[in-house]
């Protein structure tokens, strides 16, 4: 089993402000993993499948995806659906991290196979707390072997 430190976090988020806030707070929560960024769903899939702009990249050995839902080009639902349908990516843990807290959307994501659903609190203290807890959670997650390639 891979050491959790070796896991690359793919942060898929279209809002640059949110990206920085998430990154800052993950670092404050002592997450030292490599973080890769994608600003829309297509970019995330290209990275995951080493296509397009990432065609010549080596597959990251171990991955965990933090996925926003409302994004241009391809949205989070489409990314999640494609990941869970594909043999190569279906075991990669996916954490939905989004502003939406509508119960129907939450249910839909779990149906599509997401592992954890987190709503971004609007209140910043709560936001920090949520990311800090996510960080603690990530520290104890076991990632399956051989994902991401």
SS3 10: strand
Task: Select from 129, 75, 64 the least CA-distant residue to 98.
Answer: 75
Does 21 bind other proteins (CB under 8 A)? Our answer is yes
55, 122, 140, 142: which one binds other proteins (CB under 8 A) = 122
5, 34, 99, 141: which one binds other proteins (CB under 8 A) = 99
Which contiguous run of DSSP H or E holds residue 64? Answer: strand 63-67
* Shortest spacing between CB 37 and other proteins, in angstroms: 16
* Shortest spacing between CB 100 and other proteins, in angstroms: 6
State which residue, 3 or 17, has the beta carbon closest to other proteins. Answer: 17
Cβ neighbours of 61 (radius 10 Å): 15
- The residue count for binding other proteins (CB under 8 A) is 15
* Shortest spacing between CB 28 and other proteins, in angstroms: 11
Distance CA 65, CA 67 (A): 6
In the chain, what is the straight-line distance between the N-terminal and C-terminal CA atoms, in Å? 15
Binding site for other proteins (CB under 8 A): 15, 17-18, 21, 24, 70, 99-100, 102, 120, 122-125, 127
């Amino acid at each position: 089993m891979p050491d959790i430190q070796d896991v690359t976090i793919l942060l898929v988020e279209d809002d640059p402000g949110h990206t920085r806030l998430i990154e800052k707070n993950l670092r404050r929560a002592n997450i030292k993993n490599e973080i890769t960024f994608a600003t829309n769903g297509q970019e995330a899939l290209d990275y995951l499948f080493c296509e397009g702009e990432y065609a010549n990249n080596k597959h990251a050995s171990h991955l965990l995806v933090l996925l926003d839902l409302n994004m241009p080009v391809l949205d989070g639902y489409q990314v999640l659906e494609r990941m869970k349908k594909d043999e190569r990516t279906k075991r990669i843990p996916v954490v939905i991290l989004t502003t939406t807290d509508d119960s129907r959307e939450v249910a839909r994501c779990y149906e599509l196979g997401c592992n954890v659903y987190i709503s971004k609190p609007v209140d910043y203290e709560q936001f920090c707390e949520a990311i800090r807890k996510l960080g603690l959670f990530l520290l104890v997650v076991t990632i399956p072997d051989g994902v991401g390639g």
